[in-house]
Structure 1
Amino acid sequence: METAKIAQILDDMGTILEVQGENPFRCRAYHNAAQVLHGLPGDLTEMIADGSLAEVQGIGETLYAKIVQLATTGRLPAYEKLRAQTPPGLLALLRVPGVGPKKIKALHEALDIQSLADLRAAGESGAIAKVKGFGAKTEANILEGIGFLETTGGRILQNEALALVAPILDAVRNHPGVSRAEACGSLRRRAETIGDLDVLFSSKDPRPVLDHFAGLPQVAKVLGHGATKVSVLLPGFKTDQFVQCDLRGVADDQFAFALHYFTGSKAHNIAMRKRALARGLSLNEYALSGVKDPTKTIPCRDEADLFRALDLEPIPPELREDAGEFEAAGAGALPRLVEPGDLTGTFHCHSDWSDGDATLEEMAAGARELGMQYLGIGDHSRSLAMARGLTIDRVRDQWAKIDALNARFGGSFRIFKGTECDILGDGSLDFPDDVLAGFDYVVASVHSRFKMPRDEMTARIIRAISNPHVTMLGHATGRLLLSRAPYEVDLDAVIDAAAEHRTMIEINASPYRLDLDAVHCRRARKKGVAIVINPDAHSVAGLGDLRYGVSVARRAWLTKDDVFNTAPLAEIAERLASLRPR
């Protein structure tokens, strides 16, 4: 069983125990073990074999035995027993924003709520408001959360989609009858969230490949099985969630056309077909041929050949939205999009001084392992007590620790002193200016009062980023993809203010946020706002989330020169210093 699935099972067990009212320390042990598995430094199977898993902090003897059992047998009777004790629709309620295990337990006991339909009916009848500890406001928030959940449908996050499709691609590519295989659809275009998964392969005989795919152990149900396509359901990473995956087979000389077509987007494909017709050609998912003489075909080994046949530079998948890519590609003016390897370091990372899992030393070592020249540590400020926000005294203690580490690095690597400083309700900052002046950089972020009116929230953020000590704005809309809607804010006004005050705006690369989105990111860059890609990492493993932020930047047409943290260390230090008040 895959590590991510084992982690999800442990997380589910902790949640079920919470719903049952179990000891909170026991519940937390399961959740913590799940987090540890997500950040393992090596392969789980190998760590079990060499005994190193037993030495990992956060995995006790009991949980170690459960992990080994899941990894080796694919089953855990204790989990199956817990699931049998829980109404099947109860855990699905956790997907509703603002509904946690304690609320589920209370509503289940008071109103016998067992499903999303039960929850909606209770809310619409006013029954939730009458339950002790809830009230009319909570009831309204729950109904709003149900509405939000319904608008997102069965979509999943980009990182979840990539994790689901990776073993599928491996299995297909390793089949002896397969020549080529790729993931297609919105995942290949690196959309923020994904609906269905699409995998394409080429083969002389697709049937054996399709049969093999339909029989893979991770396939929960076969929805349809034809001569060239199989549709299945795969278990998602959330309880009771399934994701459709379509596998299509084509001849190898059709692969380039099919890959382009099934990558999309629909608008891009329509524009491509119109361009072909204007040149007397017909384009579909299988061939590029003459309109008057369909037997006259233009062979294309790959997508680059297809684009060149229509007098275009090859268009990267991330730009295929019919949003100016044809004009640029036709004029030979497509930008060289930023790549993960262009990043030289990053900011907005947390350590165990606030709510991170790793020490300063461990975060620095992780960054160096990834080839970074520098790392910005921006732990939370004092008002965010639930995240162990730093007091002013602890800030100064951390500065001293960072100075000592930088002295040890001897100039080969640098930790920049930063803070993720809360933007308070009136737009003021959580630390006074004399403290802010001591940081190398300041990320200003909203963490509270998300339901402020649009004009008030806009004014609040603009006041904060107008402070000369603020270097960059963090997660500009506060959204959590598929979990929490963005707060109401006039982003265009915020972008204008950022341009005026030389304040950067981050692409928060956490796959749960991807905030700023590509549309506003492109708009900000056109206004002269510097963009910085930050992972909001709370662990060493979280540094790897930078790749999701790069995907946003690529969808926004950004080049290496458009992204702040692509410059070498010396230049980054100079540019940060130049942005600080004199």
Structure 2
Amino acid sequence: MRPLDAPIDPVTALTRIAWLLERGRQSTYRVEAFRRAAAAAAAVGPDELAERAAAKTLGSLRGIGATTATVITEAVAGRIPAYLSDLQDSAPASIADGGDRLYAALRGDLHSHTDWSDGGAPIDEMVDAAVAFGHSWLAITDHSPRLTVANGLSAERLDRQIREIADVDAQHEGGIRVLAGIEVDILDDGSLDQSDEMLARLDIVTASVHSKLAMDAAPMTRRMVAAARDPRVNVLGHCTGRRVSSGSGAREQSTFDAREVFSACADSATAVEINSRPERVDPPDDLIAIALEVGCLFAIDSDAHAPGQLGFTALGAERAERLGIPDDRIVTTWPVDALLDWVRGD
């Protein structure tokens, strides 16, 4: 994330701190303290903030505590707040041990979530963070309706989101491109959890299995091959569904014929996602080797559910570089026009 070295407004300072804490996987409670303070500061406005900073009454505002009041006071005075400066100074350029060259070559992300489903921030904040991470494009891919636990989008809600994405994209004309997408559930028979009409309106379709992950290998293979060959699908997301976290968060990977699934991806120019979330590391290295051998394209994605998590792609870049995947087979290194040509099959 590009460090800030010039005076900034208090809301930007508080928000940037939240992003850096998210990137470093700090506690949700700590992150939310800065998010609440940013919302409170935005609601009050710059004039009242300046008055309260001078009178030392910021702490009487709901959502602002002693630490966040100090950040606001320093920003109002035209200084980079010490809390932000310390975070920036201690933050490594990458959260991975290696892969720096490929990480610098990444141009975008085909898997990110917002508060429209189970993400923690609105679209515009995710886009602002993508700019801070140096992206030239970002796909917004919230969940589809069957995943009710993640507040998946009905056709009606997806229609509204597509319109909002277009508005945000228009506000960044000449800068970052914002693409309308979805992480659509792959249903038991390999069909997709959204209408043909809505899928046709999207720039990007990332398809993932979220249910019956312990399905027997043969039906799981048929299920995933059907999705990989679906002409509407661009990316096969976190294909094994595994979680490598210890304790109750751990989950075994699904079983399927990887060579058959990845051959279907290669035949259909469907990219295999290298999901960069630290608790996923999906697919594992041995499956990436098979996908590489059969000629697949790849997408290094963050699966970000908060703005700072967009930096998770450094972890995927380290794996891809270590495993010898050529840059030109990683669609997230492509400029947006080349990406959209691939989506259209040009």
Smaller-chain TM-score bracket: 0.7 to 0.9
Q: Deviations over 1:23-45 (max 9, x none)?
A: xxxxxxxxx52453698999xxx
1:153-172 → structure 2 map (5 Å cutoff): none
Q: Which residue of 2 aligns with 1:524?
A: 291
Task: Describe the SS at the equivalent of 2:109.
Answer: strand
1:90-489 → structure 2 map (5 Å cutoff): 339-482=102-245, 483-489=250-256
Matched AA of 1:542: Q
CA separation of 1:388/1:526 partners in 2, compared to 1, >3 Å: closer, same or farther?
A: same
Mapped pair 1:533 → 2:300: yes
Matched AA of 1:388: N
Matched AA of 2:342: R
Whole-angstrom distance in 1 between the partners of 2:278 and 2:61: 26
Q: Deviations over 1:387-415 (max 9, x none)?
A: 11000011111111111122222232211
Whole-angstrom distance in 2 between the partners of 1:427 and 1:471: 15
Q: Deviations over 1:252-271 (max 9, x none)?
A: xxxxxxxxxxxxxxxxxxxx
Task: Describe the SS at the equivalent of 1:476.
Answer: coil
Q: CA RMSD in A?
A: 3.6
Matched AA of 2:108: G
Q: Deviations over 1:451-507 (max 9, x none)?
A: 211111111111111111001100010001131111122212111111122211110
Q: Which residue of 1 aligns with 2:11?
A: none
- Structure of greater relative contact order (alpha carbons < 8 Å, 6+ residues apart): 2
Mapped pair 1:545 → 2:307: no
Q: Which residue of 1 aligns with 2:18?
A: none
Aligned residues: 285
Matched AA of 2:252: A
Question: Does the 8 Å contact 2:159/2:198 carry over to 1?
Answer: no
Question: Does the 8 Å contact 1:421/1:443 carry over to 2?
Answer: yes
Unaligned runs of at least 5 residues, structure 1: 12-31, 43-49, 69-165, 171-186, 191-316, 319-336
Deviates more, 1:382-391 or 1:511-520: 511-520
Q: How far is the alpha carbon of 1:437 from its aligned partner?
A: 1.1
CA separation of 1:521/1:487 partners in 2, compared to 1, >3 Å: closer, same or farther?
A: same
Mapped pair 1:573 → 2:336: no
Whole-angstrom distance in 1 between the partners of 2:154 and 2:301: 24
Q: How far is the alpha carbon of 1:383 from its aligned partner?
A: 0.5
Question: Does the 8 Å contact 1:495/1:527 carry over to 2?
Answer: yes
Question: Does the 8 Å contact 1:518/1:555 carry over to 2?
Answer: no
Whole-angstrom distance in 2 between the partners of 1:396 and 1:561: 33
Whole-angstrom distance in 1 between the partners of 2:314 and 2:35: 16
Q: Which residue of 2 aligns with 1:560?
A: 327
Structure exhibiting the larger radius of gyration computed from Cα positions:
1
Task: Describe the SS at the equivalent of 2:212.
Answer: coil
CA separation of 1:552/1:56 partners in 2, compared to 1, >3 Å: closer, same or farther?
A: farther
Task: Describe the SS at the equivalent of 1:350.
Answer: coil
Q: Deviations over 1:272-314 (max 9, x none)?
A: xxxxxxxxxxxxxxxxxxxxxxxxxxxxxxxxxxxxxxxxxxx
Matched AA of 1:489: F
CA separation of 1:54/1:376 partners in 2, compared to 1, >3 Å: closer, same or farther?
A: farther
CA separation of 1:410/1:60 partners in 2, compared to 1, >3 Å: closer, same or farther?
A: closer
CA separation of 1:512/1:540 partners in 2, compared to 1, >3 Å: closer, same or farther?
A: same
Whole-angstrom distance in 2 between the partners of 1:520 and 1:404: 39
Matched AA of 1:36: E
Whole-angstrom distance in 2 between the partners of 1:484 and 1:375: 29
Unaligned runs of at least 5 residues, structure 2: 1-20, 39-52, 71-88
Mapped pair 1:512 → 2:275: no
Mapped pair 1:494 → 2:261: yes
**Alignment TM-score, normalising by the size of structure 2:** 0.73
Percent of aligned positions that are identical: 32
Whole-angstrom distance in 1 between the partners of 2:197 and 2:61: 41
Whole-angstrom distance in 1 between the partners of 2:323 and 2:59: 44
Mapped pair 1:36 → 2:12: no
Q: Deviations over 1:31-84 (max 9, x none)?
A: x52453698999xxxxxxx99x97999x676xx79xx9xxxxxxxxxxxxxxxx
**Alignment TM-score, normalising by the size of structure 1:** 0.44
Q: Which residue of 1 aligns with 2:5?
A: none
Whole-angstrom distance in 2 between the partners of 1:341 and 1:558: 15
CA separation of 1:391/1:522 partners in 2, compared to 1, >3 Å: closer, same or farther?
A: same
Question: Does the 8 Å contact 2:140/2:182 carry over to 1?
Answer: yes
Question: Does the 8 Å contact 1:522/1:558 carry over to 2?
Answer: no
